[in-house]
Amino acid sequence: MKRPLPPGGLAVLAKPVAALVLMSGLCVGAHAAIFGDDEARRAILDLRQRLEALGQRQSAEQQRQSAEQQRQIAELQRQSDELQRQKDEALKTSQALARTTEENAQLRRSLLDLSNQIEQLRADLSRLRGQDEQIAREVSEVQRRLKDVSNGVEDRLRSVEPSKVSVDGREFMAAPAEVREFEAALAIMRKGDFAQAQNAFGTFVQRHPGSGYQASALFWLGNAQYAMRNYKESLNSLRAMLSEAPEHVRAAEAMLAVANALTELKEPRPVLRRSLEDLVKAHPLSEAANVARDRLSKLK
């Protein structure tokens, strides 16, 4: 890097130039005296050209030095700005650190307060633990008593509340007493004790006239009566069943049982034929209808 001109640099450079001009003038004068005017003019022109070239070099050097000085000033300004920026960042960092320090101090105080509260709660919990154990024992005893009472109530409710049952493809609500009596009568029927089954189903029909079991009970009552050769009672029970539930799953069997009872009662053939024809017409795809067709073929 070239150093800038010192103060008064132009004046220092001007002195040699002036001396050079003076010496040149003397030389020119002496030369002119010797060589004539033409040579003196050429010498003067040459001297002027040298002076102009020297002036141009000096001006260029000055511009270069001025530009270098401007660059150095800009660099110094940049360094100054960078130092100021670093100073500002350091100040911000210092302020943030101060805030963090204060927040940490506040956090320590909060943690200390929380620790004191926890210790107080532990002490309270220790005092209450004994009371809690006593309360837990009392609550357990109350719960046990409530459970016993609830179980007793549920047992009593189950003994009287209706429940959903399904018999012969039909679903309905029935009281526990209905369920017990019907299943007991059906169990007797399955054992082949037709006399007891007749009594059991007869009692059920009288005791529960609106029961969902009514149609099924009348069907089995009619079959038990037929087995006991009580054909008229069987006929009445089966017809009552068909009147109440003509679409019952056992309706075809009931109609065939009606035809059987009519046969046993020696009813006229037209009556028997009409009964069998009604069965075929109402339930043509049933097994009972096949039996009825066979009997009809034999009545011709």
- Which mean pLDDT values do the consecutive 10-residue runs of the chain (300 residues) have? 48 47 47 64 89 89 89 90 88 83 84 83 77 76 72 53 91 94 97 97 95 96 97 97 96 97 96 96 96 91
Q: Map out the domains of the chain as residue ranges.
A: 9-95, 168-299
**Distance between CA atoms of 230 and 50, rounded to whole angstroms?**
165
Pick the CATH number of 168-299 from 1.20.1250.20, 1.10.645.10, 3.40.190.80, 1.25.40.10: 1.25.40.10
pLDDT value, residue 218: 97
Q: Which helix (H) or strand (E) holds 4?
A: none
Q: Where are the alpha helices (H) located in the chain, listed in sequence order? A: 9-35, 37-160, 176-191, 194-207, 214-227, 231-244, 251-264, 269-282, 287-299
Structure tokens at 107: 């956090």
- Residue 175: the pLDDT is 94
